[in-house]
Amino acid sequence: MLLDRGILTQDGQRYIVSGTIADLEVPETLQALVAARLDNLEAVERALLQDGAVLGMSFSSSAVAAVSRRAEDEVRRALDALVTKQVLGRTEDTRLAEQGQYHFLQGLLRTIALGTLTRRDRKARHLAAAEHLRAVWGDATEIAEVLASHYLDAVEADPDAVDADAIRASARETLAAAGHRAVSLALGVEARRYFEQAAALADEDVERARLLAEAGVAAARAADRDATHQLLGDAIAVLDDGGRDEDAARTRALLANVLIDENRLEEAGELIDRARQVLSGDEMLAELAARRARVAFLTGDNQRALQEAEVALSIADPRGLRPLFAEAAITRANALQYGGRLLEAMSLQALALQVALEADVTDQALRGYFNLAEFHLVAGHPEESGTLLERGLALARERGNRSWERDLVAQRVGVHAFCGEWDEALALSERVRTPGETGIVRLAAVFAPLILAARGDANGLEIWLAQPVDSSEWHELALIEKIARAVALRATGQLDEAARLIVAAAPEQSILGGLTHVYYIGEVFDALIDAEQLSLVEELLASAAHDELLVTRAALQRARGVLQARHGEFAEAETRLAQAATTLRDAGNPFELARTLLDDGRVLIELGRSGEATAVLQKASSVFAALGATPWLERTKLLLDPVAVPAE
């Protein structure tokens, strides 16, 4: 203050009295002191400080020039003078993005400078700042919150102005645009925040509900389940209260999608059916049919899944509704696969993925990658399956879709298990486990019992059996968890309970062709044969409809061979088992191959062909050793013992 008044001058590190000190008139409070400093500045300097205060703690000379409507050269000279007077600072570090910007040295100085503006002047300056930001940043979505804050500050400065509602709408539109941009950049958390802020500024209930719903969808992409339900629920409540039945139905359809992903299928189906009673228009009805088809498939109603998917496809295809076509086609392909129409299913699955990628619809593309990767694996193409999974993961990470990234990583567990990479499968299964696990994560956990049983890990099996498991509405998951539990019980000596579960689950094996069922089908046949359920085995073999899948074909051949051996038909059994082994050599499933070789070796011994038996059993032994399947290795060694192998 004394320097500003000319009472002191600075000489290097020294201050020299250069004026008459009659009365210092030092203000009693810090705020008064700062105000006194502002009063001592030149009028232009004081006005530019007020302009800068509107912009924030730091600002550029060009921004101040835009707000003040002055030439930038003039502004820069005045700001430099304020730097000399130690009112402002300037960032000189060339390594910083803020290089060349000015900033207040004290926050209180900025507060007081802002407070000296009239409401009218503050409003005008905030609008000028917003205009400048739009001119510099274009659509300004990258600085949406800053831009919106200027609009809202302008409204606060004069809330009763005739243009207050229009300015507030500009803030809302800016935040909503930023939300959409954040979604396109896979920034789910940021998108949710923008949409929620925009919703708080909405004047109409329908608009507020729409923005809340968009915030809910963004929260779902960020895998924030609680926020998703809260936001979508709030949107539905607003629309219900306002009597907006059709809008509420559309939002319920969004919530149904979330419920499907959470495996709450009954609730999802009820929401879709309720929405159908209100909504009209072919496009919306087709969308609901596609979702209802998915619910039907997941609950095991393949016939309804095919019918609903056909309704959706019959509308989506001629109208060029590619995202909807991809969604319905994937579901139809799944239902066809589980019904034994494998070539048609695989072709449709590949087409759906292609359409989704061309239309750039992320969720459908990721679902397509997931399903097609599984199909290629059970068809005996593990390398192609791995490639599809990697592409899906790359897309999920690029788009920030954490839910699908988690599910695609979880699917790797099955790939590792199938290909004999058991240590990797067990480690990854533990790593992907999370509280409130999704169906896919739970599905990944069912591969452990077969691995642990094959390795004779009784302690690991007891731990697995002790874990609480909630019932699942997803038909495939419920069925395979039952089979996995039976395998664990059988390996720990609880044979009666294991047999009961297997007998209950087995009749459905012929209509299910997913990865987990193919992986366990050998165990199912072994358990049924050991439990003397031979007629049930015969029924399954007679109704089998998945011969196009290499592993299933081999499992059926092996089961027929083992059954023939039980009946003393050793020559026929050896032919079947040799066929199964040949099939499995190209399928990439070493454990199933080794089990088949063991069965073949046992039959060759019965036929007195000990030389061939030894060669086959040695191959099986090397695979079991590599897998760490100690009990199986011991069984094989017993057959390889010269005492056990009769001379030719």
DSSP 11: E
CB 247 within 8 A of CB 206: yes
**325-335 confidence digits (pLDDT tens):** 999 999 999 88
Maximum C-alpha span of the chain = 128
CB-CB contact of 614 with 645 (8 Å): yes
Burial class (CB in 10 A: 0-12, 13-18, 19+), 555: buried
* Closest by CA position to 520, among listed 552, 478, 563: 552
pLDDT score, position 259: 83
Using the structure block, give the residue that is written with the tokens 């050599």. 585
Q: Domain locations in the chain? A: 1-117, 557-648
Q: Are 589 and 598 in contact (CB under 8 A)?
A: no
Model pLDDT for residues 263-307, shown as the tens digit of each residue: 788 888 888 888 888 877 788 888 889 999 999 998 888 899 999
Question: What's the rounded Cα separation, in Å, for the pair 490 and 473?
Answer: 25
| Token pair of 359 as six digits | 């239309």
User: Binning pLDDT at 50, 70 and 90, where does residue 141 land?
Assistant: low
| Tokens read off for 471 | 């019932």
Q: Which two tokens stand for residue 159?
A: 């809330």
> Right CATH number for 1-117 from 1.10.10.10, 3.40.190.10, 1.10.10.350, 1.10.3720.10?
1.10.10.10
Q: Give the mean pLDDT of 28-39.
A: 72
What is the Cα–Cα distance from 66 to 60, expressed in whole angstroms? 10
H/E segment holding residue 102:
strand 102-104
**How do strand 14-17 and strand 8-11 relate by DSSP bridges?**
antiparallel
Which position has the higher pLDDT, 565 or 441?
565
Q: Quick check: 118 pLDDT over 90?
A: no
SS3 for 82?
A: helix
Q: Give residue-wise pLDDT tens across range 468-491.
A: 777 778 888 888 888 888 889 989
SS percent in the chain: helix, strand, coil, step 5: 75, 0, 25
Neighbours of 478 (CB within 10 A): 17
Residue 309 pLDDT greater than 90, yes or no: yes
What CA–CA distances, in Å, run from 430 to 434, 447, 483?
9, 11, 20
Report domain 557-648's class.
mainly alpha
Q: CA of 591: how far to CAs of 333, 525, 588, 598, 601, in Å?
A: 29, 15, 9, 11, 15
pLDDT value of residue 142: 66
Residue 490 CB partners (closer than 8 Å, separation 6+): 453, 498, 499, 502, 527
CB 219, CB 228: distance < 8 Å: yes
Nearest to 350 by CA among 380, 330, 328: 330
Copy the structure tokens of residue 37. 């400093």
Average pLDDT, the chain: 83
Strand duo 102-104 + 58-59: pairing: antiparallel
What is the torsional sign of CA 364, 367, 371, 374?
positive
The per-residue pLDDT for range 57-93, each reduced to its tens digit, is 888 888 888 888 888 888 888 888 888 888 888 887 7
Token pair recorded at residue 35:
């105000």
CA distance 376 to 383: 9
Indicate the pTM of the whole model: 0.70
Half-sphere exposure of 648 (CA within 13 A, CB side): 8
Q: How many CB atoms lie within 10 A of CB 117?
A: 19
pLDDT of residue 28: 60
Q: What is the pLDDT of residues 434-455, one digit of tens each?
A: 655 566 777 788 888 989 999 9
The radius of gyration of the chain's CA atoms, rounded to the nearest angstrom, is 36
Q: Cβ–Cβ contacts within 10 Å for residue 156, how many? A: 13
Give CA–CA dist 101/19, Å, rounded.
34
Q: Which residues contact 460 (CB under 8 A, 6 or more apart)?
A: 448, 452
C-alpha–C-alpha distance, residues 376 and 484, integer Å: 23
Give me the helices (H) in 1-118, please: 2-5, 30-40, 43-55, 61-68, 72-84, 107-115
Can you name the residues that pair with 90 across neighbouring β-strands?
Answer: 102
Is 16 strand, coil or helix? Answer: strand
